[in-house]
Structure 1
Amino acid sequence: MTVAEGVRPEVDARSLSDADVLAIRADFPILADEGLVYLDTGATSQKPRAVLDAERQYLEHENAAVHRGAHRLAAEATERFEDARATVAGFIGADEDEVCWTGNATGALNTIAYAIGNASAGRGGREADRFRLGPGDEIVTTELEHHANLIPWQELAARTGATLRFVPIDDSGALRMAEAARIIGPATRIVAFSHVSNVLGGVLPVDELVALARDAGALTVLDACQSVPHLPFDVRALGVDFAAFSGHKMLGPTGIGALYGRRELLNALPPFLHGGSMITTVTMERAEYLPAPQRFEAGTQPVAQAVGLAAAVRYLEGIGMARVAAHEAQLGARLAKGIAAIDGVRLLGPAPGEPRIGLASFVVEGVHAHDVGQFLDDRGIAVRVGHHCTQPLHRRLGITASTRASAGVYTTRQEIDLLLDGVRDAVGFFGVRA
């Protein structure tokens, strides 16, 4: 029995004990390496046996093309595929037909942007008129976005003649909400923003941004990559129109992501990719398309990956997302407090004591992030270095790169302390002066 199978999802919000975390770690084969301190979960998470076994079981016993075969194996594969969709939809509070499979969150965000671009080019008929953009319309994002939630909107603006605007941040990395209220207005058609910054670790004020967008009659697009794996998440409660997240960041496989969209919006959007499995009728002159989610799932689908992602969701539900969030918030607080206390090191994002997930980025003054990362790697501590696909954010903060430590449900308090010891030693090794 895995830990997730042995814990009821309705457990209370108390944090995980050290014994709980050690039991969880036993479910992750890669963490059996005693020399590894894995603090790069924000980039990609490790996978429990339940996920590895689910993929293997499917491939060994049920592998077939879904939605297109009359034989028993195809029917079983289709059932597993759609059961996975139902599992993931339930995890985020959506209906099954509101979750479309994509290759990753980047693919999901591009799907929305390109579908709106197709509508703006006159595709989709009268139903798609609500999405059409042109000169005078505005797309609003923020200064702290991952490139995947910035470049698609740059491209959409370039194709349609719309104007791209952004909500700036202050010196601490917090959104300047007074500016947001000024920028989001009658011309705004789309507001795209992250739920949690992948660099700063702080949670954005989703309710305020959604309210501003709704008052302006604009659509909201949420990059939920760093929230779905770490926080209780409900699209209905958040009130967003679209959301994107990746499987590999939430204990699931690579090559699978999901696009959530409100049913009436998905069914009004023209598709982005075209081909088999997303049509009703095709002639030599034209085609008619299935409703969502199939209209956004052209071609062969990532079936084994979807099955694995469903297993990851069940694993997280077995622990309880409230407990996951509480545990990781404690780790984030420990990270922030420890890093801020080291002379010569600059903590990015929320100050110690302010809410954050289990993620913290920092700069060792006068030392390139890659050198810090190599120093830590020599001690078996895996962290992320670079601009983390957020060059505008780093530029605004006056830096070119940072070092990021990101925890998961399997991370121990002792691993955080090893990271802090390593940073202190790096400061001494490189001769940093405060």
Structure 2
Amino acid sequence: MKPVAIDWDALRQDFPVLAREVHGKPLVYFDSANTSQKPRRVIDITDAFYREHNANISRSVHTLGMEATEAYEAARKKLAAFLNVRGEDLVLTSGTTQAINLVAYSYALPRLTAGDVIVLSRMEHHANIVPWQLIAERTGAKIRVAEITETGELDLPALYAQLTPEVKILGLTQVSNVLGTVNPVADICREARRRGIATVIDGSQAVPHRPVDIAAIGCDFYAFTGHKMLGPTGTGALWARREHLDAMPPFFGGGEMIREVRFEKTVFNDPPHKFEAGTPNIAGVIGLGAAVEYLDQIGMAAIEAREQELLAYATTRLSAIPGLRIFGAAQEKAAVVSFLVDGAHAHDLATLLDLEGIAVRSGHHCAHPLMQHFGVAATCRASFAFYNRFDEIDRLAVAIEKARSLLG
């Protein structure tokens, strides 16, 4: 059966912000790796919650409370089905940062001792570095860095050689937020599991852009962020193997994560609720459920294919600009192009692009160790989503040429 052609321009109309102007020019939004734009469906459902159903969850038997709880838990089920996991193994969080901190403090802190090793890759986001540094300081564990090649790919033979018996945890991004490198996480997790090493996968840049089957990856923990996948900010989740969730103590204490509280002893709730203390971002999670439905309706394979076309076009177009250097040339790469132009600081270049209505990210991208590897302080980053167009890439190329003449 022939696949149904997708009208990408029509889908673009679902995103209200893309119709606005910046500095008198039509907005070109190339910062989706930072945060994605939101379709009208997500905006409307989030708004409708506050207008029609606003109440706290899991606490009230009145109609609004039951409606809120049902919608919230329905969003959990949608997320779980989207990623091929069980809802009862999915802890809802404020995003990847909270999720990885939960693993660090609840799983790693009670287990690590002096002499143990945590392996992290050179391309990790700070959210998958700093929590491990804090845990290492408290336990005496050490951090070992898995290095990358000049094309921005993991040096797999060197990584596997580093997975020695003292290694207890391997933290790895599935897709680099700077280089776009797609790491073979299923193969790596299989090797780590053979050695008894727990794996923590940062899926923030993978879940919004490609089909993700957590069960097939075979990791111990998988974290992701909702606002990068069309959902509201302050949303995300941690998936973990059930045996870990059962054994891990709570990270936060308070309401909802308990069965019974006495001054003598508290009996905690079952996972995932054991890790969900306090009132969550209810409207945001319900909006994230709507985002998942939206992505599912388009199809993640179709989204990945569309973004690969945008990436190929942008790589060719930008590579032709004299003095422009692209960072990251992995064989398997997501739709991210990080670049610098000779003689131009990344922030200056991004500012001039903004004057042309083009939004790109400039800075270290929460990846200082990766910037240090390449010997630069910052880069510009154009990150694409399915709602972008080829003519927008043309506008970017023209604007860079114009900026070169001004900065040169």
Class of the TM-score when normalised by the shorter of the 2 chains: over 0.9
Aligned to 1:30: 17
Partner SS, residue 425 of structure 1: helix
Instruction: Give the stretch that moved more between structures: 283-292 or 305-314.
Output: 283-292
Q: CA deviation at 1:45?
A: 0.7
Q: Distance in 2 between matches of 1:366 and 1:274?
A: 52
Aligned to 1:6: none
Q: Distance in 2 between matches of 1:166 and 1:187?
A: 14
Instruction: Give the stretch that moved more between structures: 206-215 or 316-325.
Output: 206-215
Does residue 230 in structure 1 map to residue 209 in structure 2?
yes
Aligned to 1:184: 163
TM-score, structure 2 as length reference: 0.96
Contact 1:81 1:307 in 2 (8 A): yes
Q: Distance in 1 between matches of 2:149 and 2:181?
A: 13
Structure 1 regions of 5+ residues with no counterpart?
1-9, 121-131
Q: Which amino acid aligns with 1:324?
A: I
Aligned to 2:327: 348
1:264-283 to structure 2, matched below 5 A, reads 264-283=243-262
Q: 1:11 to 1:91 in 2, by over 3 A?
A: farther
Pick from 245, 260, 269 the counterpart of residue 290 of structure 1: 269
Q: Which amino acid aligns with 1:367?
A: A
Pick from 105, 110, 113 the counterpart of residue 101 of structure 2: 110
Aligned to 2:239: 260
Pick from 151, 168, 172 the counterpart of residue 151 of structure 2: 172
Contact 1:40 1:406 in 2 (8 A): yes
Does residue 87 in structure 1 map to residue 78 in structure 2?
yes
Q: Distance in 2 between matches of 1:365 and 1:309?
A: 41
Aligned to 1:417: 394
Q: Distance in 2 between matches of 1:424 and 1:222?
A: 38
Pick from 300, 325, 329 the counterpart of residue 321 of structure 1: 300
Q: CA deviation at 1:11?
A: 8.3
Q: What's the Cα RMSD here?
A: 1.5
Does residue 368 in structure 1 map to residue 340 in structure 2?
no
Contact 1:219 1:241 in 2 (8 A): yes
Does residue 304 in structure 1 map to residue 283 in structure 2?
yes
Q: Which amino acid aligns with 1:215?
A: R
Partner SS, residue 245 of structure 1: strand
1:57-96 to structure 2, matched below 5 A, reads 57-96=48-87
Q: How many matched pairs?
A: 404
Contact 2:117 2:141 in 1 (8 A): yes
Q: Distance in 2 between matches of 1:201 and 1:339?
A: 16
Aligned to 1:124: none
Aligned to 1:157: 136
Partner SS, residue 232 of structure 1: coil
Q: CA deviation at 1:247?
A: 0.9
Q: CA deviation at 1:160?
A: 1.1
Q: Distance in 1 between matches of 2:73 and 2:230?
A: 20
Q: CA deviation at 1:82?
A: 0.4
Q: CA deviation at 1:340?
A: 2.1
Partner SS, residue 220 of structure 1: strand
Aligned to 2:406: 429
Partner SS, residue 227 of structure 2: coil
Q: Distance in 1 between matches of 2:381 and 2:390?
A: 17
Q: Distance in 2 between matches of 1:182 and 1:411?
A: 41
Instruction: Give the stretch that moved more between structures: 174-183 or 219-228.
Output: 174-183
List structure 1 runs of 4+ shifted beyond 6 angstroms: none
Q: Distance in 1 between matches of 2:350 and 2:358?
A: 8
Q: CA deviation at 1:117?
A: 4.5
Aligned to 1:395: 372
Contact 2:186 2:219 in 1 (8 A): no
1:194-213 to structure 2, matched below 5 A, reads 194-213=173-192
Aligned to 1:56: 47
Q: Which amino acid aligns with 1:66?
A: I
Q: Distance in 2 between matches of 1:174 and 1:355?
A: 9
Aligned to 2:36: 45
Aligned to 1:126: none
CA-to-aligned-CA distance 1:179-215 (integer Å, 9 cap, x gap): 1011112111111100000000110121232122112
Partner SS, residue 298 of structure 1: coil
Q: Which amino acid aligns with 1:86?
A: K
TM-score, structure 1 as length reference: 0.90
Contact 2:186 2:216 in 1 (8 A): no
Partner SS, residue 74 of structure 1: helix
Contact 2:173 2:183 in 1 (8 A): yes
CA-to-aligned-CA distance 1:95-153 (integer Å, 9 cap, x gap): 011111111111111111111255x1xxxxxxxxxxx1101211111011000000011
Partner SS, residue 110 of structure 1: helix
Partner SS, residue 111 of structure 1: helix
